[in-house]
Amino acid sequence: MSVEVLVALISAGVAVCSALVTAFTASRSVRLEHALSLQRARLERLEVNEDLTSRYREPLLLAAFHLQARIYNMVESGFVARHMSSADQEERDYARASTLYRVGDYFGWIEILRRDLQFLDLGEEQKTSELVERLDVVSHTFSNTEWFPTSVFRLFRDEQRALGEVMLEPVDGETRRYQCIGYATFVERLEQDSGFTRWFSRLSAEVDKLIDPVPGQLDRLIKVQLALINVISCIDRDGRRFPVAHIKRLDAVSPRQVVADPQGGQE
């Protein structure tokens, strides 16, 4: 074999090897860039998801906590009896309006979640499904007439939705995003808007019954409070937002006539 042919073969071999190396490097680079793109997209989705989850999860957690706390104090420490029996009209008005507001605020956030349920993601499908089930228990407890035939605060499911709907207001500058109205707006509408007030009128009348409740009238509220605590524990599993010590359960409380507690308690 001549030197010229040998050189040509070597050159061809080097060229082929160089082409293979270049092709492999290019392919690897493409795969790496694709993997990085997927990772960036996943991180971006996680950031967006975390923002959306926080946007809905925190208000729901607060609404559930404040409502269960008020129920606890109505049942166990005579919140309604204490404040509704006051000679101060403003104190009586506050006791009634703030109780109605906490019910409305909770169902307002439930309605927001119903509309945008795809954003309620706790990180795992099983956890999200568990929360939806616990929310349904709260709803069913409010609406059930078989378990609590004489209890106050019965709200059928469509009434729950109606309460939620009237509590909503659009968020400025954002399309199809809602939030619940604040307490000041709630009180103003309760006093001036008959179309708004009608959805709270029966609950308002039933607040008066809790000044001196008869046996059976508190049963539903006790079960609702326990169901709300289950919702809280599902959202705040580690108790970082609301430590267990800050939540008092009505497990051992039997429905009974409540007398005013001069020591009060957290409202």
Give tens-digit pLDDT for 47-84.
444 455 567 789 999 999 999 999 999 999 889 989 99
- Spatial CA neighbour of 167 closest among 196, 140, 192, 207: 196
139 half-sphere exposure, CB direction, 13 A CA radius = 19
pLDDT score, position 176? 76
Instruction: Please state, for a pLDDT cut of 70, what percent of the chain lies above it.
Output: 71
Residue-wise DSSP of 201-256: HHHHHHHHHTTSPPTTTTHHHHHHHHHHHHHHHHHSTT-SSS-GGG----TTPPP-
246 contacts: CB under 8 Å, gap ≥ 6: none
pLDDT score, position 246? 82
Q: How confident is the model at residue 127 (pLDDT cuts 50, 70, 90)?
A: confident
**Which DSSP state fits 96?**
H
pLDDT score, position 131? 87
By the 8 A CB rule, do 256 and 215 touch? yes
| Structure token pair of residue 99 | 């109780």
pLDDT score, position 255? 42
pLDDT digits (tens, 9 = 90+) for 140-151: 999 999 999 999
What's the CA dihedral at 53, 56, 61, 66 to 10 degrees?
Answer: 160
- Tell me the pTM: 0.75
Pairwise CA distance, residues 70 & 103, whole Å: 10
pLDDT score, position 10? 62
pLDDT score, position 62? 95
Pairwise CA distance, residues 267 & 69, whole Å: 6
Q: How confident is the model at residue 118 (pLDDT cuts 50, 70, 90)?
A: low
Pairwise CA distance, residues 4 & 140, whole Å: 92
Instruction: Tell me what the pLDDT averaged over the chain comes to.
Output: 81
pLDDT score, position 68? 96
Which segments of the chain does DSSP mark as H helices, in order?
3-76, 79-84, 89-115, 125-143, 157-166, 183-192, 194-197, 201-209, 219-235
For residue 3, pLDDT over 90 is answered with: no
253 torsion bin: left (phi>0), alpha (psi -120 to 50), beta (else)? beta
pLDDT score, position 239? 82
